[in-house]
Amino acid sequence: MGAPRSKVMQKGRRALCVAAFVACATPGSPQPTETLTLNQARSVAAQAIRGGDFELARKLAMGLLQADPEDAYAYSVLTAAHTRLKNPDLARHAARLTYKYSDTPSASFNAARKAGELAYQQKRYNAAQLWLRRAAFHAPDEKHTKLLGRNYAQVRKANPLTLRFNFSVTPSDNVNNGSDAVSHIINGEPTGGSIGAGSRALSGIVGTADLSVKYRLRQTKKTRTVLNARIFTRRVALSSSARAAAPNVSNAELGSTYTDIGLSHSFGLKTPGAFATVSGNVGKTWAADNAQYTFARAGFAPSYKLTDRSRLNLNASIEQRWSTTDNRRDSTIARVSAKVHQKLKNGNKLSYGVNLQDVRSDATNASYLSSVVTFEYGFGKQIGPMTLSAGVSLGQTDYSTYGLPTPVAGGRQDTSLYGNVTMVFTDYDVAGFAPSLRVRAGGKTSNISRFETRELSVTLGIQSKF
């Protein structure tokens, strides 16, 4: 990174000549030349910044840089001087060099945060977020990390563009949602048949990547219009034992991809603290690398403030799917949900809700009603090096008619119960991103053994502290 510091120190021992105004000098009077050491020049530059003489500070900083082109302090003076002299491009360039040549965590933290502040002032919001992430690399403690979090939230609120990317790796004993049973049993009666290896639970690793992009088109005090897009992909790597048990099942056929693009408009309601969002999306899905269906969805989601610590979110949507392989597999899906979010007095968070879904299709075994009740609890205070949250869900699905291929008396009924614990190791973050670990366990019972499943999975991921 340039000349060795020993050479720089040798330069620092030499005197530095700079043209400076003496404190008693009056405007228009001759400007005497003083001989200053580097330390004296730094002190005078700091005094000039505090006293509002930004041109003098700039000249002193340029003189310091003649002695040492990698002087981070000089660049910090230039940053401050150019900011006050209304030279935003020069200030931004100086801030970048301040960070580049800073040689202590504290100096790097302050330089990156200052660069983020300048970028924010110049409405360069993406650059501001990047600089705040860099500052998080050097945050000395959790107090400063929380300060960055508040800065980041302010920038994110101002930025019309929002990018979110999540990925996870999940070792699981059931990557294909396969059956836990071996024999076919319907309504408690064995049929004499067995469930094929490819339909039974297979172990392996699931990898997911989820990218969402939002761009705020317009915002007023009471309304906001947002263009959004998303792509989600899921890929599976079967274990060696799974490949041996089911050689006809490939990794590719267990993968899937989802994409959509849409528009949402939020607006305030007459009820104090209430607002609603109307949305529309179109998209397409793929299964086993083959196009599965296209869809269009419309939704309405009002939200009401119940108390100072609780809020009720409602959601209703209708979705039409068009199969890319068989028109009989077209379907219409209606969904409604309600969820209450509460912040408890001890700082912990509690949420609970219900989701209902009605699927109608002309295809065999494709119409059903389902309901899911969820409970989630999150601890507000850190436990050791991590934050902790847990959840449980109880679901019921009812197919009024079901055939295998002969009709099953009473149709098909599934009941599911899953629990999860999520740990985010906030003490081990890098640039505001912390590793997370999610353990999920549970299963599903059914009057048709083919659909009875059990699952234990561990998901490794990354979450933003901001």
CATH number at residue 426: 2.40.160.40
**Domain limit, last residue, from 120, 136, 154:** 154
**Whether 130 and 242 share a structural domain:** no
pLDDT tens per residue, range 108-146? 999 999 999 999 999 999 999 999 999 998 988 888 988
**Whether 171 and 32 share a structural domain:** no
Q: SS3 string of the chain? A: CCCCHHHHHHHHHCCEEEECCCCCCCCCCCCCEEEECHHHHHHHHHHHHHHCCHHHHHHHHHHHHHHCCCCHHHHHHHHHHHHHCCCHHHHHHHHHHHHHHCCCHHHHHHHHHHHHHHHHHCCCHHHHHHHHHHHHHCCCCHHHHHHHHHHHHHHHHHCCEEEEEEEEEEEECCCCCCECCCEEEECCEEEEEECCHHHECCCEEEEEEEEEEEEEEEECCCEEEEEEEEEEEEEEEECHHHHHHCCCCCCHHHCEEEEEEEEEEEEECCCCCCEEEEEEEEEEEEECCEEEEEEEEEEEEEEEEEECCEEEEEEEEEEEEEECCCHHHCEEEEEEEEEEEEECCCCCEEEEEEEEEEEEECCCCCCEEEEEEEEEEECCCCECCEEEEEEEEEEEEEECCCECCCECCCCEEEEEEEEEEEEECHHHCECCEEEEEEEEEEEEEECEHHHCEEEEEEEEEEEECC
**Whether 10 and 33 share a structural domain:** yes
**Whether 164 and 207 share a structural domain:** yes
Number of domains in the chain: 2
Q: What predicted TM-score, i.e. pTM, was given to this entire model?
A: 0.83
Examine the pLDDT at 334 and tell me if it is beyond 80: yes
With a pLDDT cut of 90, the percent of the chain lying above it is 76
pLDDT tens per residue, range 368-391? 999 999 999 999 999 999 999 999
**Whether 217 and 82 share a structural domain:** no
**Whether 89 and 204 share a structural domain:** no
**Domain limit, last residue, from 137, 154, 171:** 154
What's 38's domain CATH number?
Answer: 1.25.40.10
Residues spanned by the domain of 180: 160-464
**Domain limit, last residue, from 90, 122, 154:** 154
**Whether 143 and 173 share a structural domain:** no
**Whether 325 and 429 share a structural domain:** yes
pLDDT at 189: 87
pLDDT tens per residue, range 400-432? 999 988 899 999 999 999 999 999 998 888 888
pLDDT at 33: 55
pLDDT tens per residue, range 179-188? 988 888 899 8
**Whether 376 and 441 share a structural domain:** yes
**Whether 22 and 51 share a structural domain:** yes
**Whether 170 and 60 share a structural domain:** no
**Whether 109 and 206 share a structural domain:** no
